Chains A and B, each alone.
Chain A
Amino acid sequence: MSRLRFTCTTLVMVLVVGLLVQCRKDPIKGWTYYHAPPPPLKIVRTTSLIKNCTAPYPVSFTQQTENLIGNVRYFWDFGDGNTSTDRNPNHIYATPGNYRVKLLVMNEISSDSTMFSLSELANSSIPVNAVFGFTHFNNNNFAPNKVLFSNTSTGANQFYWYFGDGGESNNDNPEHVFQNAGSYNVRLRGTCTNGTFNETVRQVFVNPAPRRVVIDSINLMLPRAFQSNRIYIEMYHNSILIGRTAILSRGSYPIKFRRPNDFLGGYIFDFVQFSGNEVFKFLVLRDNGADIPPDLVSEILLSSSFIQSRFYPRQYFQIEPIPFREDTFIDLYLDY
């Protein structure tokens, strides 16, 4: 009798378990094929810089077009009977006049066009106006700092740059590396062929080298051989263990270690001497359980001089790819 009761209880238990776990209510859905039409070309910006104050007028045309796919062709009509198929052409207007410029951009699937007027050329002389902008390389201003200057002056065809740290250049659009922190007065002088000139000054601030590195996240994609493994990363600063990540599995493909929850015991490398050659080491390890030492999957070395020489990029892509294996990919996201 007791056996029969046991059998019945087991039957009910099995039925309940089976029925409970299959009560999913998601709608019926097959594969999503991720097909979408390619985006059409779109001209988002055109610029024209007149590089003299009297005729003849050299003009530099630039355009910015989005969704550049396929075989992209450009057709410029300068409005004086001349045309060009260059991407960013230069053209010389021999005489003053009111010119209308047309740009047509085409590829195999779409085209876009725009039209603009060069009304300044209607006058017999154009004032010299020195104008420039700048951006910090990698969007940071830590020393050493590379600055990219963009010259948007009109009416001038010769340029002199004084960077304020002793450096000079006469390129149209120079780059300059400020080695030390400080505030620099950058001066641009634009000169026309008749000697007329104009100057402008802008300040560039460069911050001291950062004192710390913050690891925002690490994306890790491993070969299929590690598909079922539990993976974590140990982080060292000058051979001293700073902390480690949580243990994640391939189920969170690609494995994403994100601040703060996935970084245990410290994720900030503090008091980093960027003038020295401090080494950040990341060991990708396979967890083998409590009593068995982990296996080393990959080792990433990142020195402070390496970071400094590349002007502190936020993302280090595929720092240490494992050769001859598929699906290996490591992205390291840093903040300073």
Chain B
Amino acid sequence: MKNLIKASVIGLLLLLRVQLVLAQPDIRYLDNTGVFKMGGGTLTPGQDFSKSSGNGLHAKPGHQVNFAFNYIISHGIGIGAHLDVNRFRFNEQSFLMQTNPTNYRILGKFASTKLGLNLVANVPIVIHQKHFTVNLFGEFQAGLRGMKIPSIDLRFSELENKFVEVNYRSRNNTMGYLGGNAGIQLLFSNKIGCYAAYHLTLRSRHSIKYSVRAFDASGQLYEDENYLNNYLDATGLQFGVFFVFGK
């Protein structure tokens, strides 16, 4: 029995080795095909986005959900579009340390939706012409993204703060961004596959507008329009599946 298992393993390794020897990059392998991919993964805010003091925005790691469609035109290069939904958790603890309220309510997260265009480059390595292809890909992204802050209600003691109630609400914000993904795709039967990628939203400064309603102890209302402005870069890992059309 042991010998049978050993023989099977050796056989498989030999077969794989033979396949790897036969494998060769074919840069035009995916030309004139459409690739739809969907996935999700982790998201880590950049240094300033996550900073919990001074000019920090108190963002914590969150998650992302991605949809993209690319059409490979020629020599592995293609164009497409993507829709990303990003959520960064809010570091309530550090925010409350800065504000020191007596009571609070924080609803939601930093919520961002990204819509943009892709420029994608592929290097397919065909292991088996019909059954298995490994594709190294890089995707450059540019587009628009919205960003919203959580809804924050704070209550203060009238002896500690002039404003006994402070309510933060998000305004609508749209800004541009540049980013990209790079990773590996495993394509089976030229139809379906899975992928893993590293995601990067490039470091650039943006403003997130919000409104504030504050009341003092006598009930006097103070309204303010304010904004955050800082570097909203992020990195993350993506995992998902993709479908190839036209191959």
At the interface with chain B, which of A11-19, A57-65, A86-94, A130-138? A11-19
Residue of B nearest to A9 (CB): B79
Cβ 8 A contact of B161, one of A28, A35, A253: A35
CA distance A188 to B176 in the complex (A): 73
CA distance A107 to B52 in the complex (A): 35
Report whether B119 and A11 are in contact in the complex, using a CB–CB cutoff of 8 Å. Answer: yes
Report whether B79 and A7 are in contact in the complex, using a CB–CB cutoff of 8 Å. Answer: yes
In the assembled complex, the CB of A7 is this many whole angstroms from the nearest CB of chain B, namely 6
CA distance A37 to B126 in the complex (A): 69
Report whether B217 and A31 are in contact in the complex, using a CB–CB cutoff of 8 Å. Answer: no
Instruction: Find chain B residues with CB under 8 A from A68 CB.
Output: 217-218
Instruction: Find chain B residues with CB under 8 A from A37 CB.
Output: 161-162
Indicate with 1 or 0, residue by residue over B76-112, a CB within 8 angstroms of chain A CB atoms: 0101000000000000000100110000000100000
In the assembled complex, the CB of A257 is this many whole angstroms from the nearest CB of chain B, namely 16
Known: A18-B177, A21-B144, A22-B176. A30 touches B228 (CB 8 A): yes
Report whether A27 and B229 are in contact in the complex, using a CB–CB cutoff of 8 Å. Answer: yes
Known: A30-B54, A38-B158. A24 touches B77 (CB 8 A): no
Report whether A29 and B117 are in contact in the complex, using a CB–CB cutoff of 8 Å. Answer: no
Instruction: Find chain A residues with CB under 8 A from B228 CB.
Output: 29-31
CA distance A213 to B174 in the complex (A): 40
How many chain A residues touch the partner (CB < 8 A)?
A: 42
| Docked complex: B134-168 residues within 8 A CB-CB of A | 140, 142-144, 151, 158-163, 166
Report if A293 contacts B (CB, 8 A): no
Report if B19 contacts A (CB, 8 A): no
In the assembled complex, the CB of A208 is this many whole angstroms from the nearest CB of chain B, namely 33
CA distance A18 to B117 in the complex (A): 9
Report whether A28 and B159 are in contact in the complex, using a CB–CB cutoff of 8 Å. Answer: no
Report whether B74 and A24 are in contact in the complex, using a CB–CB cutoff of 8 Å. Answer: no
Instruction: Find chain A residues with CB under 8 A from B207 CB.
Output: 24, 26
Instruction: Find chain A residues with CB under 8 A from B12 CB.
Output: none
Known: A38-B161, A224-B151. A31 touches B57 (CB 8 A): yes
Residue of B nearest to A30 (CB): B55
Instruction: Find chain A residues with CB under 8 A from B240 CB.
Output: none
Report whether A33 and B73 are in contact in the complex, using a CB–CB cutoff of 8 Å. Answer: no
Give chain B's interface residue range (CB within 8 Å of chain A).
35 or more
Indicate with 1 or 0, residue by residue over A250-261, a CB within 8 angstroms of chain B CB atoms: 010110000000
Cβ 8 A contact of B159, one of A109, A249, A253: A109
Report whether A33 and B229 are in contact in the complex, using a CB–CB cutoff of 8 Å. Answer: no
Report if A10 contacts B (CB, 8 A): yes
Report whether A7 and B178 are in contact in the complex, using a CB–CB cutoff of 8 Å. Answer: no
Instruction: Find chain A residues with CB under 8 A from B162 CB.
Output: 36-39
Of B77, B174, B224, chain A has the most CB atoms within 10 Å of the CB of B77
In the assembled complex, the CB of B52 is this many whole angstroms from the nearest CB of chain A, namely 10
Report whether A17 and B54 are in contact in the complex, using a CB–CB cutoff of 8 Å. Answer: no
CA distance A64 to B161 in the complex (A): 23
Cβ 8 A contact of A31, one of B98, B107, B174: B98
| Docked complex: B179-231 residues within 8 A CB-CB of A | 204-207, 211-214, 217-218, 224, 226-230
Report if B18 contacts A (CB, 8 A): no
Residue of B nearest to A13 (CB): B117
Report if A70 contacts B (CB, 8 A): yes
Report whether B163 and A34 are in contact in the complex, using a CB–CB cutoff of 8 Å. Answer: yes
Instruction: Find chain B residues with CB under 8 A from A67 CB.
Output: 217-218
Residue of B nearest to A22 (CB): B176
CA distance A4 to B226 in the complex (A): 46
Report whether A224 and B107 are in contact in the complex, using a CB–CB cutoff of 8 Å. Answer: yes
Instruction: Find chain A residues with CB under 8 A from B230 CB.
Output: 28-30
Known: A38-B158, A109-B159, A251-B171. A10 touches B229 (CB 8 A): no
Report whether B74 and A7 are in contact in the complex, using a CB–CB cutoff of 8 Å. Answer: yes
Cβ 8 A contact of B117, one of A10, A28, A254: A10
Report whether B142 and A15 are in contact in the complex, using a CB–CB cutoff of 8 Å. Answer: yes
CA distance A39 to B160 in the complex (A): 10
Known: A7-B77, A34-B214. A24 touches B98 (CB 8 A): no
Report if A194 contacts B (CB, 8 A): no
In the assembled complex, the CB of A110 is this many whole angstroms from the nearest CB of chain B, namely 10
Report if A3 contacts B (CB, 8 A): yes
Report if B63 contacts A (CB, 8 A): no
Report whether A33 and B98 are in contact in the complex, using a CB–CB cutoff of 8 Å. Answer: yes
Identify 21 residue pairs between A and B in the complex whose beta-carbon atoms are under 8 Å apart, listed by A's number: A3-B73, A14-B140, A18-B143, A18-B176, A19-B142, A20-B176, A21-B176, A22-B204, A27-B229, A28-B230, A29-B228, A31-B58, A31-B228, A34-B161, A36-B161, A36-B162, A38-B158, A39-B162, A67-B217, A67-B218, A69-B159
Chain A to chain B: the 7 pairs with minimum beta-carbon distance, closest first: A21-B176, A18-B142, A30-B55, A36-B162, A22-B176, A251-B172, A26-B229
